[in-house]
Amino acid sequence: MNIPHDQLVHAARIGGRELSGPNPSVIQRLFQLRTETQAAWIFWLLASCPPRTRRTLLASYLSWRALEQAASSRIII
């Protein structure tokens, strides 16, 4: 799917992620592939799903992201 960069950036922000500029270096691109993939999924979700499904799936995704962030920031004593 060819998504315009500005729309991909917008979708990433909805998901609580940030993308680098429209022409990232190869190294930047490798590090942001996960974010781009999630942003593309959010873009598809917004463009293709009915509102109720969109809300449910987006809420589930954001909950998963919050759990992922909590797990990665947990301090081990």
Burial of 1 (0-12, 13-18, 19+ CB in 10 A): exposed
Distance, CA of 25 to CA of 29 (rounded, Å): 6
19 found inside a domain: yes
Give residue-wise pLDDT tens across range 29-63: 888 898 999 999 999 999 999 999 999 999 999 99
Phi, psi (degrees; rounded to nearest 5) at 28: -60, -40
Q: Which residue has the higher pLDDT, 29 or 76?
A: 29
56 found inside a domain: yes
64 found inside a domain: yes
Please provide the average confidence, as pLDDT, over all residues in the chain: 89
Domain around 51: 5-72
Q: Is residue 77 scored above 60 in pLDDT?
A: no
